[in-house]
Amino acid sequence: MRDFISMKDFTKGEILRILKLAKSLKENPQGNLLGDKIVSSLFFEPSTRTRLSFTSAAYRVGAKVLGFDSPDATSLKKGESLRDTIKMTGAYSDVIVMRHPIDGAARFATEVSNVPIINGGDGANEHPSQTLLDLYTIQEEMGKIENLKIAFVGDLKYGRTVHSLSKALSMFNCEFYFVAPDLIQIPEHILKFLNNRNIKYTLVDDYKDILPEIDVMYMTRIQRERFENLDEYEKVKTVYEIDKNSIVGKCKEEMIILHPLPRVTEINIDLDDTKHALYFKQAANGVPVREAMYAIALGKYHLDEDEMDVEKRDSISAHEEIQCKNNRCITQIEKTRNKVLEENGIKYCYYCGREIK
């Protein structure tokens, strides 16, 4: 069994084997691979693509699905804890897919669950299944992942897709451009992660000057629901809006535009029929990728990690006297052991990944 919580939990070799399995399952469907398994789909936040593609993936490999798409119809409304919800759901199923608004909720769930956990997005923290389908799309369209120039545009502060993807792409020697106003620029803890791995990146507030240089433009929605101060959201909600006129003829011929969706106004529909627009194909790629995740999580396929692939694992320890200061962290809501990761002398929250100072 294998959990899917963070891209930090996987080596480069493992990621490539996951993508290879996804391609195999797409080309050679296995409709009864998980015919004896039940998936619990627990979505504590709204979702269209992630929830439906995980459900579709389960059906395509023969699994049955139970769960909910809103906490409003569950015992959470009566005050039940996440701990108890996960414990009970694990008794009814063989794997749990969960999306939760609190950072670190998925990592916490692994500590109380007796079945594998697949993180469908936890707050502003990570979204590993989205990252894997992003990598799959890049590999399929560009023919490689190594040594590409990637521009992340939009909400980089709260964008869990950006956080996960930048961590994963750091294994492939990519160069990053983080395009955002200061208010929603990439968090410091992500930059420290990249610095520790000697990854080249540039922070800019306009994509126009770098457009001729990049291979992938990764657009993101400004996420109103993540802002504690809505006045700040109003300042930046339409800061980046691209259309055919601003992109076509001004970028590389082979440049691709990705977006985790949903979009609002950041990509004009007149770009949809251009060769650069890959976001709908990207979303469709989520099905075979999530089929592969199920197969690995439930032990139908093993990644067979080579000794050469194994990186030095972070040091993990419990510090009851140390508490994460991120007020959106699961440690503020559930009773935990306040686990701390230490890397290169810097301490991070085990659950949400924020630096502990």
- Active-site residue numbers? 49-50, 78, 99, 127
On whether 337 is known to bind a ligand per the annotation, the reply is no
The reply, when asked if residue 290 is annotated as ligand binding, is no
Q: Is 161 annotated as a binding residue?
A: no
Rounded to whole angstroms, what are the CA distances from 351 to 66, 128, 332? 26, 15, 11
49 labeled part of a ligand binding site: yes
Q: For residue 346, give the 3-state DSSP assignment.
A: strand
- CA pair distance 52, 41, nearest whole angstrom: 10
Two tokens at 209?
A: 């000057």
For residue 262, whether the previous peptide bond is cis, meaning omega lies within 30 degrees of 0, is yes
* Residue in this structure with the two tokens 């959106």, named with its chain if needed: 328
Taking a C-beta distance cutoff of 8 angstroms, is the pair 43, 72 a contact? no
Buried b (16+ CB within 10 A) or exposed e, 72-108: eeeebeeeeebbebbeebbeebbbbbbbbbbbbbbbb
Q: Are 180 and 157 in contact (CB under 8 A)?
A: yes
160 labeled part of a ligand binding site? yes
Distance CA 48, CA 55 (A): 11
Query: Does 202 belong to an annotated binding site?
Result: no
Q: Is 262 annotated as a binding residue?
A: yes
> Tokens 């800061």 belong to which residue?
239
Q: In this structure, are strands 315-318 and 339-343 parallel, antiparallel, or unpaired?
A: antiparallel
Query: Would you say 33 is a known binding-site residue?
Result: no
* Binding-site positions: 49-50, 78, 99, 127, 130, 160, 221, 261-262
* Binding-site positions for carbamoyl phosphate: 49-50, 99, 127, 130, 261-262
* Binding-site positions for L-aspartate: 78, 160, 221
